[in-house]
Structure 1
Amino acid sequence: MKSSITFIKRYALGLIAAACVFNACKKDETFDFNGDATSRVYFNIGSYTVKNYDSFNFLIRHTPAGSVGEEIKAVVKARATLETEENTKVSYTIDNTLIEGYNAAKGTNYVAVPAGILELSVAQLNIPQGALISSDSLTITVPQAKMTGLTAPGYVVPVKITSVNEAKNVAVSSNANTIYLVIKTVQTNVYDAPTVTDVAGTLNTVRTGWTATLDATLTSGSLPNMFDAGTNTSWYINPPKNVNLVVNMNAAINGIKGIRFHTSTTTYYLTTANVFTSMDGITWTPQGLANFSIVNAYQYVKFYSPVNARYIKLEVTGWRTGSTRIMFTDFNIYI
């Protein structure tokens, strides 16, 4: 009995001691962490991070009418992990020594942009005292007039933070100090995603003797159905896959301005195809990768420079996600 009472007393004293410790902690909450007191300056690349490399991606299309494509313009700010104690000036450089490592990691073969092509907006970026982000931006551009100077298949521009001024407790980040601009180029004679309002010329009216071949077994229909008077007859393969459709127009036709084909409904539209032309069906001239408009079942290829050909080949490479077939009801040209 005595031992039980002693145990109860000791248990109660333990609770009292624990309560005292708890109250003491509430009264004076202090915590110690082994953190980084240095503000690290870095580039915030956000959604541009791919496989541990940070990149802006652009495409230039070199055509017979000149170089076209999206505006090449990358805008970035310098950032800091902690509010800066002083005004901080951030210096950067185009570091082409990083290209070899980039290519090795990405499996690419990009080269440096030639001198005089890039235009840079500022020499330094400024992070004001007490701020986490620079008050100005570095804007990197390639003017439209200079796009013709980029003729290699691909370029990469490594932009690296090199130093900060002697501001207190500020240093360059060791793992987020570089962004990569990627510029790809293609030679093409086809417009990007033209619609009926873009095409020029007159739709051909005579398809007598036209034939076609396909390097796949048809699921239904026959290839000559493409050359009759309407869109009620067709051929298709199921499931969809990469195929080569070759149309023999029975004789050489000069000044072909474009192509029109019909896929029955937008359920079966194509998204991409490489376009080739030939006079003999043996030697082929690549006209470019066609990206098709998907606004309706009629889809179009428009040539920048009209072509002369007897044979036209569509190397189908893309189709609507979820489509169950590749289907054609009509094929014709504009002259």
Structure 2
Amino acid sequence: MAKKHDSLGARLNRGEVAYDFIGNRKLWYGLSILITITAIVALAVRGLNMGIEFQGGAVFTTPKSEVSVSQAQEAAEEASGHEALVQKLGSGALRIQVGGLDTAQSDQVRAELAKDLNIAENKIAAELVGPSWGEQIANKAWTGLGIFMFLVVIYLAIAFEWRMAVAALIALIHDLTITVGIYSLVGFEVTVGTVIGLLTILGYSLYDTVVVFDSLKEGTKDITKQTRYTYSDLANRSINGTLIRSINTTVVALLPVAGLLFIGGGVLGAGMLNDISLSLFVGLAAGAYSSIFIATPLVADLKEREPAIKALRKRVLAKRAAAAAKGEPLDGPDADDSAEGFEDEDRTAVVGQRGRRGRPSENHG
């Protein structure tokens, strides 16, 4: 019997309380489809706010001054005739980005900025950036992404099974689409730091998914040798059993990223750190969501189509219906281990699947 003051995590791990993630999977699918469609529409209509590394232009860096960001932006746009992006750096200096400038135009704009901001022209550093460099970075990123996803699918198919590999791949695409869609909707600038962040979140996104898959693989060994649980029942138990761990690891990962984003970027004005941490923050949150609400329910859907698992489900439901008709204790996820009619082979299989978890979860599959 559970202790009165046991934590929620301990009770989830033993299966004494549970949320029916699998039973409500259509709700999560619908929500994810809606968010994904919104992201795709935003990308098609608004596009991405590409940084100067991808469109080319000039970057001007001033020394520490009392000039405000708005004053510098107004001066830069007036001098260049183009939209300008101004960042306050931690040292008090200003970083001014202006797209679409060549060498001659860059020199002219620097002279105008020196005059308008009352800063010596030789104190303003100017750097030209060509769009070809950003294009090379993007192409290498796409190549790296393709190789990464291929290797992930191969590894998961070998370590687990192809259904889990497919589900994990869909979850990865889901996370990337949502992250890029948020960038488009909010108008965040896409820089090289953003690309680095997007590639980094792929590993984080997979971490929680693999943890749940490992629990599910262990819990469904010899599943067809018993008639008490369906595959969906055990998939739901795996999510609930690792839920607190997933939440804890995600929060621990988000805290330093939030520090980089809101303190490093917002207070200190760290440009590259801001770009990386922003994509990491959005991607980590999306990855935690997909590992719980998308990846494992997808595996359950795919497995339930297997003839052996489909036949098992029919036997389990028939057994529960017969027990209910006779008014006997429910021989299913809500039954006690000592319930009458619990066959020896069922007991052996389920005990092996449960380990020390005690009573099963309150999920009817």
TM range, smaller chain: under 0.3
Identify, as 1 or 2, the structure richer in helix. 2
Q: Answer 1 or 2: higher relative contact order, Cα 8 Å, separation at least 6.
A: 2
- Relative to its length, the structure with more strand (as a share) is 1
Q: Radius of gyration: which is bigger?
A: 1
Normalization by structure 2: what TM-score?
0.21
TM-score by length of 1: 0.22
